[in-house]
Amino acid sequence: MTDRTMEETRSVERVETDPAGGRGRIGEKRKEISEERKEILLRRYGNIKMAAGPGGMGPGGPGAGKPGGAGRRRQGGPGGGPPGMRFAMAGGKPKNASATMKRLLDYIGKDKYKILFVLACVLISSLTGLGGSYILRPVINNLVSADYTTQEKVHNLMLGILVMAGIYIFGVICTYLQQRIMIRVSQNALVKIREDLFRKIQRLPLKYHDTHTHGDIMSRFTNDLDAVGEMLNHTMVQIFSGTITLIGTVTLMFVTNWILAVVTIVTTPFLAYVGSLIGKQSRKYFTQQQQVLGAVNGYIEETMTGQKVIKVFCHEETAIDEFEFLSDELRKRQMKAQFFGGIMGPVMGNLSQVSYALSAAVGGVLCLTVNFDIGGLTIFTNYSRHFSRPVNELSMQMNVIYAALAGAERVFEVMDEAPEAPDPANAIEICSEVDRKPGARPIRGEVVLKDVTFGYVPGVTVLRHVNVTAKPGRKIAFVGSTGAGKTTVTNLINRFYEIEEGEILIDGINIKKIKKDSLRSNIAMVLQDTHLFSGTVRENIRYGRPDATDDEVIAAAKVACAHSFIERLPEGYDTVLEGDGANLSQGERQLLNIARAAISKAPILILDEATSSVDTRTERLIQQGMDQLMKNRTTFVIAHRLSTVRNADLIIVLENGEIIEQGTHEELLALGGRYYQLYTGAIELD
């Protein structure tokens, strides 16, 4: 019921009615976001799919999916599900808990001897806890006994206390060791998981990034791994110690008094049932919480990178509204997750008081009727507490485990994504003729596209039967309207995406047979989207060839016409660039990107709109420098400014993914076709 009432209270109403929901709000004027938009936000940023169903986002949900649907929301009557959104993975179960757990345990498997030692320590510290308290029985019986003199009683008491202290100190040492070692083991595992995840992300095809926000991926690195860490750090030890304490306590309870033991244990199934009910809810919302957290992070990441655009189009308020929706969704999930996680302890604690009271009452009666010893009753009531504590702890740990499993599943989900196709066993290594490497086949740089057909998404063909032959050392230009497929051709030559039909050959070798690293290191590329890393100008240029000398860095900068502006920077080549080169102009960023490619000795060069933001004079200068650079390289140039491709050996006109014309500048002008139109601007006259 709590579930339903919470779900019913929609985010907007909540803002006005629930003071908890109003924290940090920009006034009460929060705009309502349409149901469709809400669904889109969750799907787009957190890959959360909403399930259709009673009150869900599907056709079954009255008011759902339609703008203004809020007024028509069902108020959750009998037979009606909670209105609004429902998570597709309602139930929130880790999809395959045992397999995920096994996989997590594999990560700590290599430290198995340390774990065995930890378990031994846990065993000892749990047993010392139990044994220490059992000594209370003779100590108390000694005090109430009439058989000893006072002096003997004091002596026995001191002896008992000393023995207890010795046992407890030993237990404390074991606890210290177990904590230290276990944290080391879990941190070793975490670092391995984190590295595996990062390594995997580096190997994922670009296709993966086309469909996942960076924020969501980052969330897997941070929140999800934190959840896993929490479990590995403490939970495993606690579960083991809880289990031992439980078994030990039950045994000692039977040893102390079997009637009382039965009375106490009879209440256990009830405790366990309540625990599992709460745990189930908690697990469900923990999974959802992690998912929405991914969406929130995704949204933050995108709005931060797009801050300028947001301001230009005055979307600040919309961004705030949308963020508040996501944040509110997170609050709802978190509230529920924390609520169910938090009530577990108190509820179980209170319930266990019942069994405590019961055993104390029955024990008192036994003392009076069957001569049950006072010491026995004291330690038994102690044990009945001991007994419920591990039961509580175990059920509480289940929450941590579920959160960790949900997190681990999201991490493993990325790890299980198909990586870029692996290199075949006999993959060929290639190198440039001028920079030969042992074992690598030198190539001259002939690139042939044979009947290439390709689409990014199934069913949408972007390139159709493209045939291109680029002779070594030639300059090939791709021109054509926006979206024609020019960048796509270069993406394919670099094997960022796998082609469906046709083949691409470099010096007659199918690129699928060439080691991917070797292929890419032999293609220098200036991407259409510039990107610079945090670091100095020098480091950024050297990214193209880490072993380049300082002189080579400067030479490359000169080719790219970047030298003079770099010299003007406060620290010259040692100026630190931050946030994708935010302290540079767009054209300057492009020049650095060109320098980064120019430093490479790769026999194939691809320039995708490399000079689109550079003034025409600088462009001409770059061109002269590049011509020098391109002499022995096969170069692909993509440019909308056609003056830059005039001197190309071959100009290919792409339209809708098909080659419609090709030839030299003069030939194409004489043809009077598409190129002529593009070059002369006559296209509008058509």
Ligand X SMILES: Nc1ncnc2c1ncn2[C@@H]1O[C@H](COP(=O)(O)OP(=O)(O)OP(=O)(O)O)[C@@H](O)[C@H]1O
- Chosen from Mg ion, ligand X, none, partner binding at 484 (C-beta under 5 to 8 Å by type): ligand X
Residue for token digits 């045992």? 98
Q: How far is the CB of 589 from ligand X (least distance, A)?
A: 17
Q: Which stretch binds ligand X (CB under 6 A): 455-463, 508-516, 616-624, 625-633?
A: 455-463
How many residues bind Mg ion (CB under 5 A)? The answer is 2
DSSP SS3 for 504 = strand
**CA atoms lying within 13 Å on the CB side of residue 267:** 20
Residue for token digits 């063909």? 461
Give the Cα separation of 598 and 622 in Å (integer).
11
Tell me: does residue 522 bind Mg ion (CB under 5 A).
Answer: no
- Chosen from ligand X, Mg ion, none, partner binding at 142 (C-beta under 5 to 8 Å by type): none
Q: Which stretch binds ligand X (CB under 6 A): 65-73, 454-462, 464-472, 578-586?
A: 454-462
> To 5 degrees, how large is the angle CA 41–CA 43–CA 49?
140
- Interaction mask 399-438, ligand X, x per CB under 6 A: ----------------------------------------
Q: How far is the CB of 608 from ligand X (least distance, A)?
A: 7
Q: How far is the CB of 460 from ligand X (least distance, A)?
A: 7
> In the complex with ligand X, which residue's Cβ is closer, 449 or 541?
449
> In the complex with Mg ion, which residue's Cβ is closer, 139 or 610?
610
Q: How far is the CB of 29 from Mg ion (least distance, A)?
A: 42
> Which pairs from 675-684 meet CB under 8 Å and 24+ separation?
675/479, 675/642, 675/651, 678/479, 678/480, 678/481, 678/642, 678/653, 679/642
Tell me: does residue 462 bind ligand X (CB under 6 A).
Answer: yes
Q: How far is the CB of 36 from ligand X (least distance, A)?
A: 22
Q: How far is the CB of 485 from ligand X (least distance, A)?
A: 4
- Chosen from ligand X, Mg ion, none, partner binding at 426 (C-beta under 5 to 8 Å by type): none
Give the Cα separation of 483 and 199 in Å (integer).
32
Give residues 226-255 in contact with Mg ion (rule: CB under 5 A): none
Q: How far is the CB of 581 from ligand X (least distance, A)?
A: 21
Tell me: does residue 395 bind Mg ion (CB under 5 A).
Answer: no
Q: Which stretch binds Mg ion (CB under 5 A): 209-217, 413-421, 479-487, 557-565?
A: 479-487
Tell me: does residue 528 bind ligand X (CB under 6 A).
Answer: yes
| Cβ–Cβ under 8 Å, residues 417 and 280 | no
Alpha helices in 534-684, H assignment, sequence order: 537-542, 550-559, 563-568, 586-598, 616-630, 665-671, 674-680
> In the complex with ligand X, which residue's Cβ is closer, 500 or 666?
500
Residues 6 or more apart in contact with residue 511 via CB below 8 angstroms: 493, 495, 503, 504, 505, 519
> In the complex with Mg ion, which residue's Cβ is closer, 363 or 485?
485
Tell me: does residue 491 bind Mg ion (CB under 5 A).
Answer: no
Which structure tokens are listed for 367? 């003392």
Tell me: does residue 457 bind ligand X (CB under 6 A).
Answer: yes
Residues 6 or more apart in contact with residue 599 via CB below 8 angstroms: 541, 542, 544, 545, 548, 552, 553, 555, 556
Q: If we measure between CA atoms, which residue out of 387, 363, 219 comes closest to residue 294?
A: 219
Q: How far is the CB of 557 from ligand X (least distance, A)?
A: 26
Give residues 526-555 in contact with Mg ion (rule: CB under 5 A): 528
How many residues bind ligand X (CB under 6 A)? The answer is 13
- Chosen from Mg ion, ligand X, none, partner binding at 188 (C-beta under 5 to 8 Å by type): none
Q: Which stretch binds Mg ion (CB under 5 A): 64-72, 225-233, 522-530, 557-565?
A: 522-530
Q: How far is the CB of 497 from ligand X (least distance, A)?
A: 8
Residue for token digits 């980064």? 596
Give residues 476-495 in contact with ligand X (rule: CB under 6 A): 480, 482-488
- Interaction mask 308-327, ligand X, x per CB under 6 A: --------------------
Q: Which stretch binds Mg ion (CB under 5 A): 32-40, 152-160, 525-533, 627-635?
A: 525-533
Which structure tokens are listed for 343? 């009530």
Which structure tokens are listed for 316? 């600040």
Q: How far is the CB of 463 from ligand X (least distance, A)?
A: 8
Q: Which stretch binds Mg ion (CB under 5 A): 391-399, 415-423, 481-489, 511-519?
A: 481-489
Q: How far is the CB of 478 from Mg ion (least distance, A)?
A: 9
Buried b (16+ CB within 10 A) or exposed e, 51-89: ebebbbbeeebebbbeeebbeebbebeeeebbbbbbbbb
| Cβ–Cβ under 8 Å, residues 215 and 302 | yes
| Region label for 459, one of left (φ > 0), alpha (ψ between -120 and 50) or beta (otherwise) | left
Dmax (CA) for the chain in angstroms is 125
CA 177 to chain centroid: 33
Q: How far is the CB of 486 from Mg ion (least distance, A)?
A: 5
> In the complex with ligand X, which residue's Cβ is closer, 33 or 606?
606
Q: Which of 3, 210, 615, 627 binds ligand X (CB under 6 A)?
A: 210
- Chosen from Mg ion, ligand X, none, partner binding at 334 (C-beta under 5 to 8 Å by type): none
Helices 150-203 and 374-415 cross at an angle (nearest 10°) of 10
Tell me: does residue 211 bind ligand X (CB under 6 A).
Answer: no
Tell me: does residue 644 bind ligand X (CB under 6 A).
Answer: no
Residue nearest to Mg ion (CB): 487
> In the complex with ligand X, which residue's Cβ is closer, 33 or 492?
492
> In the complex with Mg ion, which residue's Cβ is closer, 246 or 642?
642
Tell me: does residue 487 bind Mg ion (CB under 5 A).
Answer: yes
DSSP SS3 for 247 = helix
> In the complex with ligand X, which residue's Cβ is closer, 407 or 480?
480
> Which pairs from 300-307 meet CB under 8 Å and 24+ separation?
300/215, 301/213, 301/214, 301/215, 301/218, 302/45, 302/213, 302/214, 302/215
Give the Cα separation of 608 and 526 in Å (integer).
6
- Chosen from Mg ion, ligand X, none, partner binding at 151 (C-beta under 5 to 8 Å by type): none
Give the Cα separation of 566 and 552 in Å (integer).
15
- Chosen from ligand X, Mg ion, none, partner binding at 477 (C-beta under 5 to 8 Å by type): none
Residues 6 or more apart in contact with residue 273 via CB below 8 angstroms: none
Q: How far is the CB of 664 from Mg ion (least distance, A)?
A: 23
Q: How far is the CB of 63 from ligand X (least distance, A)?
A: 34
Give the Cα separation of 444 and 433 in Å (integer).
6
Per 3-state DSSP, the chain is made up of helix, strand and coil in percentages (nearest 5) of: 60, 10, 30
Residues that bind Mg ion (CB under 5 A): 487, 528
Residues that bind ligand X (CB under 6 A): 210, 456-457, 462, 480, 482-488, 528
